[in-house]
Amino acid sequence: MLKKIVIGFLLLVFANCSYADINQTIQINTHFDKINGKPTWLLIIRDMQSGQVLPYVFDIRNNDNFWVAFSSERSYKITVSNLKFNDCIAINNFCHLQDGVISGKSMFITLSGKLTRNRNSVTCHIMKYAGEPFTVVHSDE
């Protein structure tokens, strides 16, 4: 079921293209015990070969979430990972993702704990693995 949802999302994202290559993915799962306020997570990815900048904004309203961010290139860099709370307090470099260029690796990130202004109340488990490129094809039918 999840695979169908992700593929459906990919088709929507690339609906204006005849095809699109996705080289790396960042999959994010959250399992929070508690969320203070209405935080928003800004994640900006820069594809190193093309220079394309891909912004993602995740509004965290539920304890359990699943999100996917994409890179169309083999190498990418997370240039921004900021968690902002509704009272303008922010945690910069959330989960310490701004860690240089990542080449040939996708990520699976699991967030758990209490999402508060205290950076240490959340556990960020990051697993990097060899990413397999795949092509999304748009059908005109």
pLDDT tens track, the chain, 141 positions: 444 444 454 444 544 444 456 789 999 999 999 999 999 999 999 999 999 999 999 999 999 999 999 888 889 999 999 999 987 889 999 999 998 999 999 999 999 999 999 999 999 999 999 976 655 555 565
Token look-up 């992700």 returns: 6
| Number of residues in the chain | 141
Domains contained in the chain, number: 1
Taking the C-alpha atoms of residue 25 and residue 36, their distance in angstroms, rounded to an integer, is: 28
Residue 65 token pair: 């979430």
Nearest to 130 by CA among 57, 59, 74: 74
Domain range holding 10? 2-137
Buried b (16+ CB within 10 A) or exposed e, 102-116: beeebbebebebebb
Taking the C-alpha atoms of residue 133 and residue 88, their distance in angstroms, rounded to an integer, is: 38
Taking the C-alpha atoms of residue 31 and residue 63, their distance in angstroms, rounded to an integer, is: 5
Predicted TM-score (pTM) of the model is: 0.79
Q: Which residues pair with 37 in a beta bridge?
A: none
Residue 40 token pair: 């928003």
